[in-house]
Structure 1
Amino acid sequence: MSPPVRFSFDSLPVSRWRNGGGETREIVSWPADELLPAHSGPLPALDDFAWRASIATIDRDGGFSSFPGVDRVITLLEGNGVVLHGANGVAHSLTRTGEPYAFAGEESVTAVLAGGASRDFNIMTRRLDWRASVVRMDHEFILPAVHSGVLYVLAGTWRLGNDDQAKDDKPLAARDGCWWHHLPSPLRLRPLAPESLLLWADISAL
């Protein structure tokens, strides 16, 4: 179990996609090799995670990398977004900020820019062991104990923790966030400004 680890967008390490079609700022890749569930089997080094959160910048048309056995949720953060084209001919417009779209990591998906570069919030979970949901929140809520997850603030400011826990902490502002693995106890999130908005990725073991 761990308390939330804070981050800001500008502090995240940047790397180019392995297929060269964009860049990623990794928030967290959990866990270390020795903590992976024994029944899940080995993975290639680049896929060595149980769950992963990142922010990607897509600046050109191109295909997504393949992640067999992984479920993905992608949510537009900034820009005009992209249109996602699947191998089955189905297209999905990822053009509304804060609305998640889930798909299987092994699917052949090509992204076509809807007008300029876009930035997206990405959650990946190993299908046999984890599940994730991403929701947009604009009101006070409670993070459940034991679950893992990620928060990313889209607008406004948020207080993390109960009043006695958070009184000395700086509020989370736009482009700030935090992640955690198995909260030791429930934790409250409260908006401090009108029109505050964040994304909450709730991640739980199966």
Structure 2
Amino acid sequence: MSDMETLSLGSIAPELWRNGGGVTRTLAREGDEWRVSIAEVQKDGSYSRFEGLSRISFVLRGDGVVLRDADHAIELLPRQAMEYDGDTPWQATLIDGPVSVLNVMSKRGRYRVKVTSVTRSIAVEPGRAAVVLALGTGCRLNIQPDDAHELNPGNAAIFRTLGAALRIEAQRDSTDLLIVITIEPVHG
């Protein structure tokens, strides 16, 4: 059996960024090992550094962000998961206005993280954490044949460690946002 926590995305209190330049809403975290959050980026500026962490960002709303340091530029574009180094002192430039960005941070080398936009269905293997975000469409969560749940739009389901396989089925074939984040420990 897998314990599931559900929450309304609208009920999550905003937290001020480390650098004071915006707000984020934390959906799930496991101590200092990993964190899943949604940030509202309103203006150009510096990104907070998170030493020892890998970051994956996925633009949910808006046209995107360009991150630059002295040697590199990374484009965070709508509906594309992009992994980058949390140690780097990135400067962010918005592409045509404010954005909402899903961020997943995890201790470097300790987790394999995947962010997937789901249009129909997906299966998640046991032994990993999973966060399901029903942003534009709801979904059905099948943990075992006799353990199914409906997740309505505007809600999230958090599984700290899946004890059994999870099947996620969109309520309809759609390009509406249904996002699945998996966080798998790296062994060895």
* TM-score of the aligned structures, taking structure 2 as reference length: 0.89
Cα distance between partner residues in 1 of 2:115 and 2:172: 22
Mapped pair 1:192 → 2:174 = no
- Aligned to 2:49, which of 40, 46, 66? 66
Q: Trace 1:1-206 onto structure 2 (pairs within 5 A).
A: 2-31=2-31, 49-88=32-71, 90-96=72-78, 98-161=79-142, 162=144, 164-166=146-148, 169=149, 171-195=150-174, 196-206=176-186
CA contact (8 A) 1:147 1:202 kept: yes
Q: Is the 8 A contact 2:22 2:39 kept in 1?
A: yes
Mapped partners of 1:53, 1:177: distance in 2 = 11
Structure 2 portions without partners, runs of 5+: none
Q: Deviations over 1:133-167 (max 9, x none)?
A: 2122212222211111212123222111256322x
RMSD of Structure 2 on Structure 1 (CA): 1.8
The AA in structure 2 aligned to 1:11 is S
Contact 1:77 1:154 in 2 (8 A): no
- Which amino acid in 2 is paired with 1:141? I
TM-score of the pair, normalised by structure 1: 0.82
Tell me if the contact between 1:81 and 1:114 (Cα under 8 Å) persists in the aligned partners. Answer: yes
**How many residue pairs are counted as aligned between the two chains?**
184
What percentage of residue pairs aligned between the two structures are identical?
29
With 52-61 and 123-132 compared, the bigger mean Cα shift is at 123-132
> Could you tell me which residue of structure 2 aligns to residue 45 of structure 1?
none
Answer yes or no: is the 8 Å Cα contact 2:55–2:106 preserved in 1: yes
Give distance in 2, aligned partners of 1:133 and 1:17: 24
Specify the SS of the correspondent of 1:155. Answer: coil
List gaps (5 residues or longer) in structure 1.
Answer: 32-48
CA contact under 8 A between 1:153 and 1:174: conserved in structure 2?
yes
SS at match of 2:147: helix
Q: Secondary structure at the match of 1:3?
A: coil
Give 1:84's aligned amino acid. Answer: L
